[in-house]
Amino acid sequence: MTKYSSWIHYFRHNNWSTVQFEFRNVPTLSSEERDLLSASLQQFQLGEGSDGLGLLRRCRRFSGQNAHPDLPEAMLLFIREEQRHSAVLGHFLDQECIPRLRQHWVDQLFRKIRNLAGFELMLTVLVTAELIAIPYYTAIHNATSSIPLKLIAQRILRDEEQHLEFQALNLAHCAQQRSDFARFLTILAQLGALTCAAALVYSMHSSLFRKAALSPLRFWALAYDAHRPILHALTAARPSSNPAVEAYLR
Ligand SMILES: [Fe+2]
Ligand SMILES: [Fe+2]
């Protein structure tokens, strides 16, 4: 069994449905929570719902060039899981009578950068959003007293942790032929992108994060901690011979 066939197996068996959240069409958010959470929930619901066509196209090209025949199917199942996140958040917004967004400038910015990029840069942008999702859904879970929203946040958090493991494998394959120093720069670029995205998202929804007792530093630390599988996969992509780089990467 290849690593990708294991991921296909995982995604197929993680095939949960939005029905399990038993939406009752009765709002569960207090007006204070609604004011606090609406804008960010609308934005994340939109962001989770990409069609993934550009990613799949690049993924097929990469898998053909690098002999990973199972990768496109695994990626397709991953995209469907992201779309389920968007669907379940969409149902929740409908229940709370919060309109769904059709577009948002942050989402458009992420999509534009992704579409300019090749497979690896596209994955990096995607991974940055997934790293930000970890402190974000943690904050949602802590800030709300709505039981369905807490359950949704827990479920998405569990999935996102696995997504980061999946993307760690993909990014390690992208970096396989790279020198130690080039991989070191790759990691620095990822952390730079993460820091910029964390600053942007924190400043946009700071009242939510303050309510959830997440300081900017704690927010960044949660996202940084979630980056560890990628750090480990990239440092193991090829045995390093540079002790200084190795020491930093550990
Ligand atoms: Fe997601
Ligand atoms: Fe994800």
58-95 pLDDT, tens digit each? 999 999 988 899 999 999 999 999 999 999 999 999 99
CA of 240 to the centre of ligand 2 (A): 29
pLDDT above 70 coverage of the chain, percent: 94
- Cα 243 to averaged position of ligand 2 atoms, centre (Å): 33
Question: Which ligand is closest in space to the CA of residue 163?
Answer: 2
- Flag whether pLDDT at 27 surpasses 90: yes
222, two tokens: 């949660």
237 band by pLDDT with thresholds 50, 70 and 90? low
pTM: 0.89
pLDDT value of residue 1: 66
> If you search the block for the tokens 């991921």, which residue do you land on?
7
Report residues near ion ligand 2: CB below 5 Å.
130, 160, 163
CA pair distance 34, 46, nearest whole angstrom: 17
Selected residue with higher pLDDT from 24 and 193: 193
Q: What pLDDT does 244 receive?
A: 41
Enumerate domains of the chain plus CATH numbers.
30-249 (1.20.1260)
Q: How far apart are CA 108 and CA 114, in angstroms?
A: 10
Q: Which pair of tokens denotes residue 240?
A: 């390093």
> Ligand 2 centre from 241 Cα, in Å?
33
Averaged over 117-141, what is the pLDDT? 94
What is the number of the ligand closest to the CA of 83?
A: 1
Q: Is the separation of the CB atoms in 135 and 91 below 8 Å?
A: no
More confident residue, 75 or 242: 75
Please say if the pLDDT value at position 241 is more than 80: no
